[in-house]
Each structure stands twice: as C-alpha cells, then as structure tokens.
Chains A and B, each alone.
Chain A
Amino acid sequence: MTLKKFLIGTIASFGLAWLLVVILPFIAQRNVKPVEFQEAIDGQTGVFIPKTSGRVADGLAVYQANGCALCHTQVIRPTYAGTELWREDWAGLAADEDRGDTRRESNIFDYKGLDYAPIGQTRAGQDLSNLAVRMHARFPQSPAEAEAWLYRHLYNARSFPELGWSICPPMPFMFEKRPVSGQGRTADAQHGVADFAEGNENFVPGSEARALISYLMSLRHDHKVPASINYSPPAPAAAAPAAAAPAAPAAAAE
C-alpha cells in the first residue's frame, strides 16, 4: 500500500459517507416543502404551521444550558419505534373535550424555527413534547395556576408530597429569596402567583426561571395535521388502547 493509494482510499471512503449521511441530508432537510391542508379531506385549507407562543428562544437556551435534555426528551416516536404515542397524555390528549383524541407523532414542522431540536438523551423524566397540553388539562381554570405548579416543581419537585420519588434536580438558585412581609405572600403584580412561600421566606423566580417556564408552557404539539402526514391509526382503532389504559392518577402521571 503506497501513501497515494492510502490517501485516495481513506478520503474516498470517509468522504462518501460524509456527503451522503451528513452534508446532503442536512441541506435537503433545510428546505422541506410545507404541507398543505386539502379541503376535501381535511375540511380546511392553508399550510400546516404549528404555532408556538412564549419565550422560546431564551427559554430554550436556559433549558439547554442546564442540561434538561439529558433526562427529558421532546419527541413522540411512531409506533414502530416506541410506544409513547399511546401513553395517556404524552402525545396529546386521549380524550380532549373539543377535539377528541388529539394524539399524534412528532413531525419535522414541530421543530421549525429552532437551530437545534431538543430531542433529548434519555427519558429519566417524562417526555415534554406536550407539557403545556398536560398542564392545561390539569389546571383547566387558570394557566397561572399551571405556571405556579411548574415553578414549584422547578424549585424542588419533591416539595410535592406525591412526587417524593422524583429525581428531578432542584433549581433553587433560579429563585430569589425574599423575607415574608405583610400577609405572607408578596403581592408582586409582576410575578402574579408565581412566587410561593416556605417558612419565613418567599421565593420569587428569577429571569432564567421565568424564561424557562414560559418556554415549557409553549410546548404543545397536538395541532391538527393534514391527512397526508397523519399516520395515526383511524379513530376506532385509536380508541381501543385508550380505553384499556387504566386512568392513571394525576399525581403519578406527572
């Protein structure tokens, strides 16, 4: 083997793989054509664009810098690759009040606008693709209450008696301690009900915590998809496993 043959061989073998699995797919996936709704099948027109609202960019930066993705995934795999589509409220709601079964797998448009999809490493914790959907289902009256629950979970998940088993790392450093004055809770208009008291101190979320919770409350990927990219089984078949699933207590589900 001469050096010339060696160089040609190594560069060609690596370069081919490099082009075909890294560079070309990356470029191709950059410009994915939007999928349109078809009036005849979907009953509506327009282009499928999942909407998000909230502080996605800076909240996601906090999410990434603090390693949330090490334990929390954000992907609902198709059923050939995993079963999370059937978990009661991970992929959407099995029984939404208005829309019925809203569960669906993730698609490429769910991550549009991000630079790096927070797919995640492991599932030591729950999948967060539809965290906002779960939170709204749990606190249907008031989104502020849902946020307050998340803040407390962020501060220390084990402060909820029913989550004593959780291994979610506490993040007390994202909160400011303030002495309790007046009637206990500070009526801080800016933070609403986000702060909570423990002993003689109030804990007020800092800017990182607020960005993070705003981002978490934006996590909703149960929008209706065009029939052409809807791979969910037809409605009756989908209802069967949902009916078989025991109604998990809300505490254990979170």
Chain B
Amino acid sequence: MSAISQDLSQEDVQLRSAIDRSLRHPVMFFFTSGAAWLAVSLLLGLLSSIKVHSPEFASGWPFLTYGRVFPAHMSAMVYGWACQAGFGTLIWLMARLSRQECKHVGVILTAGHLWNLAVAVGVVSILAGHGTGKPWLDFPSFVWPGMILSYAAITVWSIVQFRCRPAGHVYISQWFLLGALIWFPWVFLTGNVVVHHFGGSPLMAVAVNAWYRSALVLMYFVPVGVAAAYYLAPKVSGRPVYSYSLGIMGFWTLAVVGPWAGMQKLAGVPIPNSLVSIGAAALVLFAIPAITVAVNILRTAGSRNEVVTNSPSLHFTMAGISGLLILGLLGVVMSLEDALRFTQFSMAGYGYEMLALYGFFSMCMFGAIYFIVPRLTRREWLSRRLIRMHFWFSVYGSAFIVLFAIIGGLFQGIGQEDYLQPWIDAASRTHGYAVGTTIAWVFVLISNFFFFIHLGLMWLRLGRRSAHPTLLHSHHPASPHGPEGDVEEILAGRA
C-alpha cells in the first residue's frame, strides 16, 4: 500500500477521505448490524447443532424446536449477516472506485433500518412458527417486498456513482460489483415471486427454490466477495493484478455458467431430467471461474509473502479465496452422478453451503472490514491479538464444520443407500460428526466473540489514534503498533 500512496497527490488523499467520511455512517451501520445478526445466527446455529445429537436439549419451548431454530439460523446468516456485510462492502468499494462521494446517506440509512426490520420480523416469525419451510425463503411471504425495496434504496446510488465516474479505466472489481447489482434483485425477485406466489407447479417451485439458493451464492455472494478480493490483494500488496485478462475471463465464465446451476439437488425428483443434468454440468463448470479468480488473486498477493503475513485484511482475503477454490472443486465432486446419490439427502449439502457462506464469503468480508473500518472511523484496530484469535478460530472452526458435514454426509449417504440394512444403521452414522460439528461451531463462536468486541470498540471510536495500521507482526521495538497520537499531528499539519 505504501508504495502507491506515496505517489498520490494531496487531492487524491482529500477525495478519498471525503468519500470515507460521507459513507461512514451507512457502511458502519451495515457492518455492525450485520455482525449483530452474525452473533444471533451463530447462537442459533450452535443450538441447532446441539439438537442434532441431543434432541431433548431445550425441547420444551416451541420456539426452540430444531425445525424452527435451524431455518432461523440460516436466514439470519444469509440475510442478516452476509447480505448486509455485502451491502456495506459494495457501496464503499463502488464509491471509492468510481471516486464519488455518497450524497444519499439518509436514504441508505433508512433503507438499512428497513432491511433490518424485515429480517427481524422474518426471524421472529420463523421462531414463532410462521416460517414457510422453504429453505432460504423461510420468511413469511409478506416480508420480501420490504427487503427488495430497501435493497433498491441502498444500492441504486452505487449505479448512479458508476455512471457519473470520471472517464477512464474501469477496474475489474467494478464489473463484479455491477454484475452483483444486476443479478441480486433478479435472483431475489424470481425466487420469492415464483416460489411464494405463482403456484400450480409444486415440484418446479422446489426446483426454483434450489436454483435460488445456488444463484444467490453464485450470482451475489461470489461476485461481491471476489470484488473485495480483487480490490484488496493489489491494494495492500502494492502489486498490480497478476493477469487482468484472467480477471475478465473469470467474470464472464461466472456470468455464463452461474445462472444454470442449482437444480442438480433434485436428481431423481419428478422434474424434467435435463434441468438436473444442466445444473450438475453448470456446477462442474463453476470450477473454471473459481480457479481463475483464485489463481489470479493468490498470484497477485502471494508473491509478497511478508505483506500477507503482516496484513489482517490479506490474511482473511487469502483464506476466503482459498475457500472459493475449494468450493469450486467440491462442486465438481458433489455434482458427479455417483456422488450425488450419496450426498443429495445428507448433511453434505449443509457443509457446502457453510463453505460458501462462511469459509469463502464471510472470510472475504472480514478481510474487507479489517481494511475499511479504520478508514471510516480514522482509528486503527486495537489489538493484533484479537485479530489473530478471530482469524485462527474462524479458519479451524469453519474448516471443521465443512469437513465434518461433508465426510459425515458421505457416510450417512452410504448408509441411506444400503437398503438391505435397517434404517437405524443410516440414522446412527452421523452422531459423531454431529458432535464434532457442535464443537466446531463453538470455535466459530469464540472466534467471532473477539471480532464483535473489536468491532464494537471501533464503532465507539475507541480505536488507536495512529497513522500506523495494526499489523499482525511488528518490528517496532517500543510499541507493537508504532507511536501513538500522531494522527492529530498529521491532520494539523495538513490543515
């Protein structure tokens, strides 16, 4: 970063800090409320994971029954945390890359509150027993119009900013962000309207539901996470993108392949077989954008190892992009016909979704948050120890959740397929893996406990007042972070 920033003129610095100032409240709102929903989701996830192996745990209350806690956990994760972290990153990145201040803070903040209200109503409804039982569309059907309206009010300004940008080069992150901006409402509207309101085709409603989950990941979470990684990797490492044409290729392969995937989950269900085959083929082909993006970003930042070891943002981004690479390869394995019959109705699907939502997307978002928040609050992160704890507990926790779910799911599927054995054989195979998953969730919860404290302190502007970013390793002899309080001196000198 330093190599680039030294060349910048005073105007550039002022423009950037003006953009950051203008976006401070909305972006911090999305990050903090997203983190709060992540906390809710993790607690519900831990609870539902416990119930998988100990069904009588807290079973007396209707709102804590497994069948309500689990969808509430997923919905809070997807709409409370992941979508909002995505919104915050998206509007900040687009403003910075288009070099435009945000002029509609009030509208965005209001819409952000509406989104949170909608998610809260939805989650409470699920727990109260009014969920729809349609995965990722569990909210009662009156909730989605509020969500799509607030989405429009949050992100329309990013499109305006892109249109008003100064003439010149469009960076690869912007293409990914624009893609996400177009695809999200399309996917969201299609999923909700078709599944909730069209009716008359019960099996296709299930198929569209499966497509919706896949498309939300591939056409919203993937492009937003990748856009953040394409921004951070060159920015922090001070190296240009390894191959720009590889980046463009990654975008277009994703755009062409992504929307076809999803219905492979319904192999053997009475829908047209071609839909299943197309879905499986598309998920296999998704490995191409996943690999191109991952190679490109790992080559960009990986050539400067010392920067990666020092930078919290790059730590998380590299882990997230590794998650994307695994996601692409796992999609290939899980789409094979011989694997599908064993994993279709097992806990492996949960492992795949958690890899997408946490191992890839959340890690990329943490990377972005560690980069963006100090620029918004003009304070540096307080403690590298907290960041390190967050990182390692997250990496191990999510890796174990995914591993346990996928390996456990495979054995579960083998048991299910062995029709000569009594059902107890298939049902009892997952017990150990379920206990392991609970322990892994405890890891993720501990990890994010450090993150919540840290983000909360930053939100209260209690971060370090220093011009030196918090690095994971430091060679400064006196203080791990460099001298204190020099931000004011620098600002005074400029004024």
Identify which of B108-116, B227-235, B272-280, B437-445 touches chain A. B272-280
| Inter-chain contact B260/A17, CB cutoff 8 Å | yes
- The stretch of A36-44, A123-131, A195-203, A232-240 in contact with B is A123-131
Q: How far is the CA of A32 from the CA of B261 in the complex (A)?
A: 24
For residue A249, CB closer than 8 A to chain B, the reply is: yes
Neighbour of A122 across the interface among B61, B133, B346, B428, CB < 8 A: B346
A253 touches B422 (CB 8 A): yes
Is the C-beta of B52 less than 8 angstroms from some C-beta in chain A?
yes
Q: Is A244 an interface residue (CB 8 A)?
A: yes
A245 neighbours in B (Cβ, 8 Å): 419-420
Task: Check: A117 CB closer than 8 A to any chain B CB.
Answer: yes
Residue B183 lies at the interface, judged by CB distance under 8 Å to chain A: yes
The docked-state distance in angstroms from the alpha carbon of A102 to that of B20 is: 68
Docked CA distance A108–B263 (Å): 16
Interface residue? A50 (CB, 8 A): no
B405 to nearest A CB, angstroms?
10
Q: Evaluate whether A124 and B204 lie within 8 angstroms (CB atoms) in the complex, with A67-B133, A253-B422 already known.
A: no
Determine whether the beta carbon of A123 is less than 8 Å from that of B345: yes
Interface centre among A88, A108, A124, A168 (most CB of B within 10 A): A124
For B265-308 the 0/1 string (1 means CB < 8 A from A) is 01111111001001100000000000000000000000000000
Query: Restricting to B190-231, which residues have a CB under 8 Å from any CB of A?
Result: 190, 194-195, 198-209, 211, 219
Contacting residues of chain A (10-26) with chain B, CB-CB under 8 angstroms: 10-11, 13-14, 17-18, 21-23, 25-26
Greatest chain A CB density within 10 A among B53, B345, B349, B418 is at: B345
A55 at the interface (CB under 8 A from B): no
B side interface size, CB within 8 A: 87
Residues of B within 8 A of A121 (CB): 135, 345, 349
Task: Confirm or deny: B311 has a beta carbon within 8 angstroms of a beta carbon on chain A.
Answer: no
Task: Output the least CB separation between B49 and chain A (Å).
Answer: 12
- Provide the bound-state CA to CA distance between A128 and B134, in Å: 17
Q: Are B194 and A22 in contact (CB under 8 A)?
A: yes
Query: Chain B residue with minimal CB distance to A112?
Result: B202
Neighbouring B residues of A114 by C-beta, 8 Å: 202
Cβ distance A103 to chain B, nearest Cβ, rounded Å: 11
A123 and B426 in contact (CB under 8 A), knowing A82-B344, A116-B205, A167-B55? yes
B271 pairs with A29, CB closer than 8 A = yes
* Nearest B residue to A109, CB-CB: B270
Q: Is A119 an interface residue (CB 8 A)?
A: yes
Determine which of B59, B130, B205, B345 lies in contact with A169 in the assembled complex, contact meaning CB atoms within 8 Å. B59
> Is B37 interfacial (CB-CB < 8 Å)?
no
A65, B55: Cα distance in complex, Å: 18
Does B175 count as interface, using CB distance less than 8 angstroms?
A: yes
Contacts A10-B179, A67-B68, A82-B341 given; does A75 touch B268 at CB 8 Å: yes
Q: Does A143 contact B (CB under 8 A)?
A: no
Across the interface, do A172 and B60 meet the contact criterion of CB distance under 8 Å?
A: yes
- Are the CB atoms of A70 and B61 closer together than 8 Å? no
In contact, A77 and B268 (Cβ under 8 angstroms): yes
Using CB atoms, name the residue of chain B closest to A14.
B259
Question: Given the known A-B contacts A10-B255, A123-B345, A171-B65, are A25 and B207 also in contact in the complex, defined by CB atoms under 8 Å?
Answer: yes
Whether a CB of chain B sits under 8 angstroms from the CB of A30 is yes
- Residue of A66, A80, A82, A115 near B129 (CB, 8 A) is A66
Q: Which residue of B lies closest to A249 (CB)?
A: B422
Specify which chain A residues have a CB less than 8 angstroms from the CB of B447 in the assembled complex. Answer: none
Give chain A interface residues in 36-89, CB to chain B under 8 Å.
63-70, 73, 75, 77-78, 80-84, 86-88
- Asked if A168 contacts B55 (CB within 8 A), the reply is yes
Smallest CB separation, B134 vs chain A (Å): 6
Known: A82-B268, A170-B59, A171-B65. 4 other contacts (CB 8 A): A30-B200, A116-B134, A123-B416, A158-B56
Task: Tell me the B residues contacting A by CB distance below 8 Å.
Answer: 51-53, 55-56, 59-62, 65-68, 70-71, 129-135, 162-163, 170, 175, 178-179, 182-183, 186, 190, 194-195, 198-209, 211, 219, 248, 252, 255-256, 259-260, 262-263, 266-272, 275, 278-279, 340-341, 344-347, 349-350, 412, 416-420, 422-424, 426-428, 430
Closest 9 CB pairs of A and B: A67-B67, A64-B133, A77-B268, A81-B268, A17-B259, A252-B422, A117-B202, A173-B62, A123-B345
Residues of A within 8 A of B (CB): 1, 3, 6-7, 9-11, 13-14, 17-18, 21-23, 25-27, 29-30, 63-70, 73, 75, 77-78, 80-84, 86-88, 106-108, 110-126, 156, 158, 165-174, 241, 244-246, 248-249, 252-254
